[in-house]
Structure 1
């Protein structure tokens, strides 16, 4: 027997510098042509997607939640889901990077994903990450990190360069270009790292941390494969951190990083983990799925295994 679910859409028409409005027009035309019942809620500011998702998933009934936007909008909605057991989540990409959709292996554009989702009740189950910091915590689908990569994400939120490149469909290149400058200007920090993985605990001190990223998917920042072997259904996360190398050497290693050939390079470490705590000597910038959450010196990342049901 087919389960009847309410189709609820959370839509950010402002993503990709407003070009997402055309994507929604296409989706809406299809929904109306097929006589599909739905509710649509349009974001107008920060945390709107979170509030819409809370309202949509609080009834205890099964819900088909469709979220259209970039990685930031998808993250906001993820953090609003109250009942993961009864929520089928479908991300509809319309941002400049779309790392989450790529990372979980959804192929095609927003309309193609929508059509597949509406045609089946089948779904796949994926992991999520959680970052805990002073005063709060957030879930993430792609990654969360501290240091240079987080500061790049902060700059990209208001970058005129990104808005310009989005006009040509090249917005994801913003992250790489900003990284080059930040390597020579951002302060580095020593850190103490504690890792929990498969009932074992490991501690180490790290000098001159440039950044540390907790990866659920293999790539962030518009497709940069920070953790080339990470898969979002493994039941654990992968930490990638750069440390104890000169700024110039870090710059020369960027092409190696972009090519996903950095594993085993001095100063570039990869660790699988269930939970990891990073205590920095100095406060550093922190991001969650590319969204800025503040400057902190003590953060913990955890894996929430096999929790997110995705259709499409």
Structure 2
């Protein structure tokens, strides 16, 4: 098996966890299966860099002396807001030569400035998706997923999403068993599916200003198996269905139906991850009614059936 070189780009203002998270995953895989990964770090001039948290990272060498990478990883951080033009030029030149080009968090901004995301689907930290889309209209920015794969380019959301993406790459390279071992060691999920939302429904939706609507939001979350039709929810809020639907969307940023769909999906995911309950029982408890209805919802939202989701994404445990 050929050894894969992983090169991590460092710069002042880098987010330390964007670096250490993926590095720990690849280093863990190398310890488990020696000879699979060789990790290098490099900065523009080879000098130490200061992270956003104040930590100092010492690179192995200057970028000009860095080895040709199999996987080139560009982390995020405040230093990506106005990246050094020399860094962008280096990424523009060397990025296309890598077998895999990966960004964590706002590292996608550097890739976009280098023109390497044009015509591709990508994501970044939710707080910067609008900025990325506005400044780089040739990039198809998807603000929802944890990470996005588009050919040889992989972009991930904020901070811990870099760990999810790195685990997915290790699984791709070395198989699920190795990725599972690394996840257990790090005490994390094997990996969250890439198209899982960055936010839960409660975080993705704004909290309504009016108490009746806030109460409806709480009711939905606490009773995913209840009658959550617009008519029933409107009656709970003491509003007409039309007025309720319009007010709910105006104050939360999503329709009642979309909010209910997200809550039910999250509830079912948690039961699949945390319990041994059967699929039929979970489908009823989550408001789907039947396993087939839940299966359709999972395939549409996550690209996988509930049973497969449980097999692949249940949290690893340590002993």
**TM-score, scaled to structure 2:** 0.29
Larger radius of gyration: 2
Counting strand residues as a fraction of each chain, which structure ranks higher? 1
Q: Which has the higher contact order (CA 8 A, sep 6+)?
A: 1
Compute the TM-score of the two structures, normalised by the length of structure 1. Answer: 0.29
Greater share of helix: 2
